[in-house]
Chain A
Amino acid sequence: MTFAEETGELRNPGLPGIEEFDTLIYGSPPLAYPAALSQYAIYNTPDPAYVTGRINVSAFANLGAATPWPFTNTNVPLNGHVCIPRGRGPFPIAVFAHGNHNPFENSTPGYLYLCQLLASHGIIAATIDVNFLNGFNFGENDARAIVHLEHLKQFRSWNNTAGHPLEGKVDLNRILIVGHSRGGEAVGHASFFNWLASIGPVILDGSAGLGPYRFGLSAAAAIAPTDRQFVPTTGPTVVPDSYFIIHGSKDSDVFTFEGYHTYERAHAVDLANPTVSDGKFKAMLWVHKANHNQFNSVWAPETPPGVAMPRPSQEQIARVHLGALALAVLLDRREYFAVLRDHAVATAWDPAGTELVSQYQNPQRIFVQHNQEGLAPPVVSLPVQGTVAADGVAAARQLTALVGGAPTTTITLRLAWNSAGTRLLLRVDPATLPAERYKVIALRVGQSNEATNTANRDQDFTLEVSSGSRTAAFRASSLHRLLFPDPPPFGPAKIVMQTLRLPVARLVECGVDPSDLRSIALVFDRRQTGVVYTGDLQFTN
C-alpha cells in the first residue's frame, strides 16, 4: 500500500486537474460533405497546423453504399478532436474511438468529456472519426483497429516534425487506446496488430501507406465492447497489452457482455507454464444500471426512460474509473491502481448508491486453483500441490457462459449447497506455495440468480485460511459484497464474479504463517442455501 493510499490522500480522478489545455480539430480537407452529412463539415476547417492525410483501408473494409461519403475506402480521412495540455511536455496520449452507430450522426465528439478530463491532468487526449465505417455492416473491426493505429501514427509524425506545435510533446511510450462498442473490440485488435509485420496481404511497414506501428501501448481500454465480430486467421484476438473493460448491466445494445470473453482470453494462465506471467494486468468494472449509449455523450439512450441510471451518473463513473486508469498507467500515479484493484476505493467519488462489481488480475501471481485443467473434478493447480475436498457442497467445473451469448472457453467452478456448514477445502503442500512472497489472496467469485440464492440479497460465506494450528476466518462480505445479478433488459442474467482480495498481512495479524500455509476453505455457513461460481484462487499483489 502506498503512502497516499494509507493516508487516504487519493484525490477523485474524475475531477478536473490543474493543467490548462486547448481543444483543436484535426482533419483532411477539403471534403465535399453533402447536406445529409453536414455534421462532418467541421473537419474541413482544422487548425492549420493539424491538417492530415488520407489512408487506404480498402483491404479491410468497404464503406456503406447507403451513406453518401465524399470519399472512398482508398482515401478515408484522419479526422478528430484533440485536447492538448499547455506546456512543454512530453505528455502521454490517450486516443478514444467510438463504435457503430447511425453514420448520419457524428459519434466522435461523444468522448470529449473524457478527453477534457485527461487533458486537465496533463494528457494529450483525442477522439477520432471512424464514422465512415458505421452502418448496417459486419466484420469491419479490423479496419477500426487500423484507423486507430493510423491516428497514433499521425501523432507520432507530428511529434517528430521539426517546428510542429507538437514537436517533442508526445510521449510515445505512454499511450492508452480506448474504444467503445465495436471500437472497444477494435482496441483489442489494435493491440494485437501493433506488433505485426503484415495482416494478410497488407504489409505494415509503411511502403503501402499503412504502418509501421510498434507503439508503446500502456493499456487498451474497452467500453462495452463487442467481441469476435472480426476474427483473425490465427483465432480470436488475445489482447497482448494490459486490458481494462467497463460494461453496464442495462446495456441494450451489446446485451450479452461480449467483452467478458475478451477479458477471459487476455493474460490467461498458460497451462504449460502456469507460473509464467506476461507482465500485464487486466481489470474489469461491471456497472449495475449503466446502459450502452450513455458512455457517449451525444448518443441518445437506447433504453426506455427509467431503466438505466441518469446520464450524468454514468458519465461520472466513466470519468472516475477511466480517469484512475489513465492516471495510473500514463502518469505513473501508481496509487490509482488501488481503484482498479478494488472499486470500493472510489465509493466516495461514484454516484451515491452505485452498485459495481470488479475484477483485477495483477501480473505477479501464482494460481492455487485456476480450474482450466479440464472438466474433471476440481484440483489444486500445478505447480502448487494439494488436494480438494468437497464436504456437503456440490463442486462441478463447467463451461458455463456466465454472461450469456457466445460459448465460453473458460471453465468456472460451480459450488452449490443446501445446508449451512458445508465447505470446499483445498489442502496445499506449503513447500509448493510461496504465499509469503505475495500481498493478497485473490478469489474470483459471484452468485447466480438460481433459485437457491435469495433474490436481491447479497451472498456470503466464510474464507478460512490455516497454517498448522492457526486458522484465520473472514466473512466474504467483509472483503466485498457479492451482489445478486442485476436483471438484464433482455436475455439471460449475467453472473459476474467479484475479485475478493484478502491481504496476507491480515493473515499474519491472525497468527497464520504464510510460509507454512496448509489449507484454504470456502465455508458456506452464512446462508442456508446457495450457488456461487468461482473463477480462480491465487496469491498475488
Chain B
Amino acid sequence: MPLPEPTKIAAVEVVAAQPTEADRAAIAHMGLKEPKAVYVVKVRLTAKPPVTSMAWALYVGDERVSKYWEYTDGIYFVVFDPQFFVTHKGKRLRFSQNDTDFFDTDAVLAPAPSVAESNAIKLPLQADVLK
C-alpha cells in the first residue's frame, strides 16, 4: 500500500469574525489586548479524505497550527493576533504527519482583511462564517 498523501488545497480565505467567549478568555490569558475581531482562516480542500486518527498537521511556513477544525468545504483555524498575518505573509501552507517530512501545497496564507474599529460590531459570528 502506498504511503498516504495529504489532500489538496483549493483556496484559502480569511474572514474577520466576532470572538467567542472562549476566544476572549484565551486572549486575556495570553495577555493580548482584546481585539474587536478574530480571523477565521478557511482552507477549502479539493476533497476530504476519510476521517482517521492519524492526522495531517497544518503548517504555515514553519509554524504548526496547533488546532484546526472541520467545516463543510474543508478545514479552518482561528487567529487572534493580526500580527500572525504580517509574520507569515506569503508563507506556504504545508502538511506533515511527523514534523520531519513535509508536503508543500500550492496555497499561501491570505492576508487578513482590515477591520475598522467602528465596524467591528457588525462582524459576523464565527458560526455564520462557517455556514
Contact = CB atoms under 8 A, between A and B. Distances in A.
Given A64-B71, A100-B53, A136-B49, 12 more contacts: A58-B22, A63-B69, A65-B72, A66-B71, A137-B55, A137-B68, A138-B55, A138-B67, A139-B65, A253-B52, A489-B1, A490-B4
A66 B67 CA distance: 16
A361 B54 CA distance: 27
B57 interface: yes
B53 A407 contact: no
Nearest to A208: B25
Interface residues of B, number: 39
B55 A200 contact: no
B72 A226 contact: no
Contact of A100 (B21, B52, B68, B130): B52
Nearest to A404: B98
B100 interface: yes
Contact of B53 (A62, A73, A181, A202): A181
B97 A256 contact: yes
A405 B97 contact: yes
Interface in B46-71: 48-58, 65-71
B106 interface: no
Interface of A: 58-59, 61-67, 73-74, 99-103, 134-140, 181-182, 200-202, 224, 226, 229-231, 252-256, 258, 292, 302, 304, 404-407, 489-491
A73 B22 CA distance: 10
Interface string B39-50: 000000000111
A253 B53 contact: yes
Given A135-B51, A226-B53, A59 B25 contact: yes
Contacts of B21: 58, 74
B86 interface: no
A252 B28 CA distance: 41
A interface: dominant SS: loop
A182 B53 contact: yes
B53 A252 contact: no
A201 B97 contact: no
Contact of A65 (B28, B53, B70): B70
Contacts of A491: 3
A253 B97 CA distance: 12
A407 B68 contact: no
Nearest to B52: A253
B53 A200 contact: no
B75 interface: yes
A65 B51 contact: no
